[in-house]
Amino acid sequence: MSKKLGALDYHSTGRKGKIEVIATKPCQTAADLSLAYSPGVAEPCLAIQENPDDAYKYTAKGNLVAVVSNGTAVLGLGNLGALAGKPVMEGKGVLFKRFADIDVFDIELNTENPDEIIKACQLLEPTFGGINLEDIKAPECFYIEEELKKTMNIPVFHDDQHGTAIISSAALLNALQLTGKKIEDIRIVVNGAGASANSCAKLAIALGVKPNNMIMCDTKGVIYKGRVEGMNKYKELFAADTPFRTLEEAAKGADVLFGLSAKGAFTPEMIRSMAPNPIIFAMANPDPEITPEEAHAVRGDVIMATGRSDYPNQVNNVLGFPFIFRGALDVRATAINEEMKLAAVHALAKLAQEEVPDSVSKAYGNEKFSFGVNYIIPKPFDPRVLLHVAPAIAQAAMDTGVARQPIEDMAKYIEQLESSQGRSKEVMRMIINKAKSDPKKVVFPEGDNEKILRAAQILVEEGIAQPVLVGDKKKIQQKMDDLNLDLDVPIVDPTESEHTEEYAHELYRRRQRKGLTLTECQRIMRRKSRVQFSTMMVAQGHADTLLGGIDTHYPETIRPALQVLGKQAGLSSVHGLYMMVFKKEVYFLADTTVTIDPTAEELAETAILAAEKVAMLGIEPRIAMLSFSNFGSVDHPQTRKVKRAVELVKERAPSLIVEGEMQADTAVVPELLDGFTFSKLKTPANVLIFPDLNSGNICYKLLRRLGGAEAIGPILMGMNKPVHVLQRGDDVNDVVNMAAIAVVDVQNA
């Protein structure tokens, strides 16, 4: 139930749905408007009329794909209709954009007449560079794609068919290599006769499987020559001359089982009856035909793949369609042909055999991957997939004559693809996966807050952290029941805890000469301050870190933490850091929350601590110490303070890339930075140190509200033990992100 609520919340929070249209040209002035629309827009219109190919030059057509569906075969949900399928099509657009920077309009057509769908797509050809058919039931999908490929001059690709076929075929090639079997010798059984099964069988034959060794089954059993019941011309292509009549019979002695059917379709007895070193791809979603646990319980020589992310060897279509269209669009291909599909198969298979970089391991919680039975296909978040598949598609399109704009320099093209991969959300994903590699106990003082509870559910389900909720146990349990959360985490009630008296005495020991009596400490621990109680949990080692403040003002959380835990020895202060995540870049801003008017010593301390945090997150810090002066252009006490801070950083941490004093635009604009050839900063800074709290706080809030940045923080630096503060108004995602950062902070403490 909680997952359902989370999914609905994800789709409904803020701007509804998952996509928006953003202008790529300025439209701020009357002059801009005259160029964007009338009268200036007439010029590209006339140019396109004279030369239709100029549409790729003057419009977004060359990077625009239509995801077209009528909702008759939505995921594993069946015929939901065009409108109910829209969230899936929007999601497809998100994946196109995220993995290959391709823009998408989702087109839901309210018809089950295949000829109407064909006509609609044909009429849309002037708008789009390609058509991705999605969630259209078989056998109509075959007819629709065939007709569109005959009549349209842009790529048409039915992902439900070919996406699964391409990914599973790549995995099959690698599985065969590991088992020492030759593709021309194997016997393969495909269970399912829909769009995916049809394409998987065709592609396997194209790769070398002998047609006589291909057995296809549907709900009525084996598709054999002479069968009449439940047949159509597409099934007839795979009618085998065989005595087998049931899936059980066909599985005996088979080398490969492809499942594109339903949960439980493969039984342990079938697996036991297969040939040595069987290959089983149970690709039904969300539940496979047989689970890896069930298959491995029968025999130990099985190579398994499923469609699920929680098992090794996920057959995930996202490894295919974004990169296939990327390559096809970049050469203005007129089609996606069989040679291009095979090129994608071989590119993916080859990539899985290469050494996996640390960046991929970090993206999956530092799990190590190497070519073998549990790694026969690349991971979806492997950034190298774009760099392998898109060029392979482009090259195959050129080799087969369907490329209208061939790529002259393939090496340069690959460099361009690499430069298009922004950092943005990947940074947070890497942090989350690093946290998942070694989850820590995070205590939440506001344990009865709805956002905290929903975030705790996510933290547990994804294995990011071990939440500990502080508060009234009955109230928290009632809130969980109201929210339909199935959350099994420790709940600590200060009025009942066996450690309350221990915490009171320890607080008294620390604060007895600072205004507190033992009685007051006991009152604080039992009833007055859950933040103080939670801080003592961290101090006494009963929790690893604290995350609070969503219901309180910032000082109400940080002050007790400073009083109990204090700052690190040798530091003059505690400092605050914000991570600002933009579409392409990530910047770190400090101090934005703590020190109002820092000295040069404190500024230097802020810079060094910020560099340590940024490096901890796997990013090389490039520091700019900001001012209203550029390298001595203004002589003022404030600029001299920043200049002195730069000198101190260079003395104490000579290996850091740091410069200043410098103006903010100089720090981040390459053209301005290039004017100062003596600067140690050769590329724009990603860590910005502000001269005072006024400027830092104002800047990060403006970037968040007006600049479109996602603000993650504040990340406290310099505490004796990791403590982090939430902001009032933070949403569930903010809490999850900060919890992940808190866990990583503990890991690196």
Tokens 């992940």 belong to residue:
740
pLDDT at site 1: 44
Tokens of 223: 């598709």
Q: What pLDDT does 151 receive?
A: 97
CB 84 within 8 A of CB 78: no
Give the tens place of pLDDT for each residue, 250-308: 999 999 999 999 999 999 999 999 999 999 999 998 889 999 999 999 999 999 999 98
pLDDT at 360: 79
pTM beyond 0.75: no
CA angle in degrees (0–180, nearest 5) for 626-632-636: 80
Determine contact, residues 164/153, Cβ cutoff 8 Å.
no
**CA 279 – CA 180 distance, rounded (Å):** 12
pLDDT number for residue 470: 92
- Of 513, 594, 522, give the one whose Cα is nearest residue 561: 594
pLDDT score at 671: 86
Task: Give the CA angle between residues 44, 45, 48 to the nearest 5°.
Answer: 80
- Transcribe 266-314 into DSSP letters: S-HHHHHHSPSS-EEEE--SSS-SS-HHHHHHH-SS-EEEES-TTSSSB
pLDDT mean values, one per 10 residues, the chain (749 residues): 71 84 85 89 94 95 97 88 95 92 96 97 97 93 95 95 94 97 96 91 95 94 94 91 95 96 94 97 91 95 92 92 96 96 97 82 78 94 92 97 95 81 64 88 93 92 93 92 89 90 87 84 83 89 92 79 83 88 86 89 95 87 95 92 95 94 92 87 93 93 87 86 84 87 88
How far is residue 541's CA from residue 538's CA, in Å, rounded to a whole number? 5
Question: What is the pLDDT at residue 426?
Answer: 62
157 three-class SS: strand
Strands 441-444 and 303-306: unpaired
Asked if residues 727 and 555 have their Cβ atoms less than 8 Å apart, the reply is no
Pick the closest to residue 166 from 13, 412, 339, 365 (CA basis).
339
Whole-angstrom Cα Rg for the chain: 30
Four-point Cα dihedral 433, 434, 438, 441, nearest 10: -90
Label residues 220-239 b or e (16+ Cβ within 10 Å = b).
Answer: ebbbbeebeeeeeebbeebe
Report the distance separating Cα 166 and Cα 315, nearest Å: 9
Nearest Cα to Cα of residue 305 among 320, 315, 316: 315
Phi, psi of 734, rounded to the nearest 5 degrees: -60, -40
Q: Which residues are catalytic?
A: 37, 92
- Measure Cα distances from 646 to 84, 623, 629, 673, 679 in Å: 58, 10, 13, 17, 12
Q: What is the pLDDT of residues 605-622, one digit of tens each?
A: 999 999 999 988 878 899
CA 479, CA 444: separation in Å to the nearest integer? 15
